[in-house]
Structure 1
Amino acid sequence: MNHLNRSALIVGASQGIGLGFLYKCLETPEIATIFATYRDRHSADRLFDLSRQFPQKLTCLQMEIADESQIERAIAQIQQSTPYLHFVINCVGILHEGDLQPEKSLRQIDSDRLIRYFQVNSIGAILLAKHLLPLFQHDDRSIFATISAKIGSIGDNHLGGWYGYRASKAALNMLLRTAAIEYRRKRSKAIVVMLHPGTTNTRLSRPFQRNVPPEKLFSIERTVSQLWEVMENLEEQDSGEFFSWDGTRLPW
């Protein structure tokens, strides 16, 4: 990302890792234009504070990632401002929400809750890939990254449990691995990757941090810095791969 006047989109920028990436993009001179999405206006105060501080650089867009019509509308708004994007990171994910909690055993499996996991963690990301394709129609190196999770690795599953979250992240990886192949044919400069951030101190992980060693519980700033470095070092042949926060490739 060493050219001037680059455009970025951060999906899920109102909190957590997404908000951390927004701060990173705001302090990166090469990125001249940033679009940042939020789901609920009532939980996006910090995002809108930043938009008032950087009115020429930051545009806020409402988007529910499980609603394709909202994805289409947000991307249409982006296209009114710029024909191209150079950096997109999807930080939206769900692990727990109300009575939606990770399953510890088969008896806790519920079809509606499974569907919710897949809607947010899997389907939303591939719908983004579908509708973002025209914005990568340029000759500059670009990145479309999605936050995945090591727990979605089938080969690394030795503990079991967390059926819906595991399966939805595995599906995310397969969907974007497949999209990367099509992108390679149609948008050869776009690198599509899945990223494992490690356990980060956010609302998503907070109920499950008790047994995490302090040195393995990352601050948002550290997570963003580590993932940014991974993305900076990506090459075109890395498209479709699944990387951990330290740059190592994770098994499918």
Structure 2
Amino acid sequence: MQFFSRSRKISEMLRVSMRLPPLVKSAPNARFSSTISRWEGGVSMVQGASRGIGLEFVRQLLEKNNRGHVVATCRNPGGATGLIDLKGKFEDRLNILPLDVTDESTIEAAAISIKEKYSSLNLLINTSGVLSIPKTLHPETTLSKLEKSALMLTYEINAVGPVLVVKHMWPLLKAGGGSGTDREFAVVANLSARVGSIGDNSLGGWHSYRSSKTALNQLTKTISVELARKKDPILCILLHPGTVDTDLSKPFQKSVPPGKLFTAEFSVQKLLSIINNAKGSDNGKFYAWDGAEIPW
């Protein structure tokens, strides 16, 4: 109880000190003038950045915006060889921080670190997710294989964790660059999956994974409604990357139709295009990699 009390208190202090004025189309507030000049290309955060889609987001954000700064977070930065390689190429523009979505104190610590260094964020991308873990977690093909532990673990990583990241980064999000565009709003992009759509579910199975992504969709939608009501210049969207050739999909790639297994480079390129072209009317919507809206 003491931790959560302290967490709420720090979060509230950040929210009060960093709250943006309720104007979407106004010029940047004067209190951010020094930050804007220093971080001219914007500041993006990628959560779950050690490999796969997350790592590719970091790479493309750095390569496509030669002034942009990226905060990459993962559970074990010391073992994230891909991020370490990128740090060697973009030393001044890449900041790697530890963050474990199952440990809220690490999310809180990352938010404090980002506030101290950058003061604000323009783009937040949540990419962490789990589908299977050898000897621990397997997608259920039938109701009889459903286990409480699998449901709880998948929900914690795929839904609860990303939303807690949004909660702690919310006070830092402001309009501006992020991925190289001069947007009138900050963007929160949560990586979901088409199988999280209730309306699109005709196959069944994968109970834990499906329901955790459905929960992420509902939570993100609810946040988008709240922020719009508060007139915060923050847009929240959900993105389906397609079936991407990563460790997450590798055990299940045999059933993927020809031409439907994407590289991380292709998928992230498509997703960044959606982010960069997002409009205020897209707030709270769920999009596939090709820009098509997915039913709830």
- For this structure pair, what is the TM-score category when the shorter chain's length is used for normalisation? over 0.9
1:156 aligns to 2:193 (yes or no): no
Cα contact 2:159–2:215 (8 A) shared by 1: yes
Choose the corresponding residue for 1:141, options 179, 185, 191: 185
Residue 45 of structure 1: aligned partner: 81
Q: Please list the CA deviations of residues 74-122 of structure 1 after superposition, one character each: whole Å capped at 9, or x if unmatched.
A: 1111111112111111110000112201011111111111100000000
Contact map agreement 2:123 2:173 (CA 8 A) in 1: no
The one-character-per-residue Cα deviations of 1:147-206 (angstroms, maximum 9, x if unpaired) are 100000001111110000000000000001000111223353211001000000000001
* Corresponding residue of 1:112: 149
Q: Which residue in 1 is equivalent to 2:255? A: 211
List runs of 5+ in structure 2 lacking aligned partners.
Answer: 1-38, 177-183
Q: 2:97 aligns with which of 32, 50, 61?
A: 61
- Is residue 80 from structure 1 mapped to residue 116 from structure 2 by the alignment? yes
With 135-144 and 15-24 compared, the bigger mean Cα shift is at: 135-144
Q: 1:25 aligns with which of 50, 57, 61?
A: 61
Counterpart residue identity of residue 229, structure 1: S
Query: Which residue, 78, 92, 96 being the options, matches 2:128?
Result: 92
Residue identity opposite 1:59 in structure 2? N
Return the alpha-carbon distance in structure 2 between the equivalents of residues 20 and 29 of structure 1. 14
| Bigger shift: residues 166-175 or 21-30 | 21-30
Write the distance in 2 (CA, Å) between the matches of 1:93 and 1:110. 18
Q: Secondary structure at the match of 1:210?
A: helix
Alignment of 1:157-196 (within 5 A): 157-186=201-230, 188-196=232-240
- For the 8 Å contact 1:102–1:165, the answer to whether it is kept is yes
The 1:232–1:178 alpha-carbon spacing in structure 2 relative to 1, beyond 3 Å, is same
Counterpart residue number, 2:162: 125
Does structure 1 conserve the Cα–Cα contact (< 8 Å) formed by 2:154 and 2:208? yes
Q: Which position in structure 2 is the counterpart of 1:202?
A: 246
Deviation at 1:40, TM superposition (A): 2.4
How high is the TM-score relative to the length of structure 2?
0.81
Query: CA separation in 1, counterparts of 2:43 and 2:189?
Result: 14
Equivalent of residue 47 in structure 2, options 4, 11, 22? 11
Contact 1:200 1:223 in 2 (8 A): yes
Cα distance in 2 for residues equivalent to 1:78 and 1:231: 22
**SS state of the match for residue 57, structure 2?**
helix
Backbone CA RMSD of aligned residues: 1.6
Aligned to 1:60, the other structure's residue is in SS state: strand
The unaligned stretches of length 5 or more in structure 1 are none
The TM-score with structure 1 as length reference comes to: 0.95
Give the aligned residue type for 1:132.
M
Match of 1:241 in 2: 285
Residues 112-151 of structure 1, C-alpha deviations (whole Å, 9 max, x = no match)? 1110000000001111121111111457422110110000
Q: Deviations over 1:3-39 (max 9, x none)?
A: 9420000001110000110111111226522100111
Q: Which amino acid in the other structure matches residue 74 of structure 2?
A: Y
Give the Cα separation in 2 of the matches to 1:18 and 1:218: 15
Query: 1:154 & 1:32 partners in 2: Cα distance?
Result: 37
Structure 1 or 2, whichever has the larger Rg, is: 2
The 3 A distance-change label for structure 1 pair 41 and 174 is same
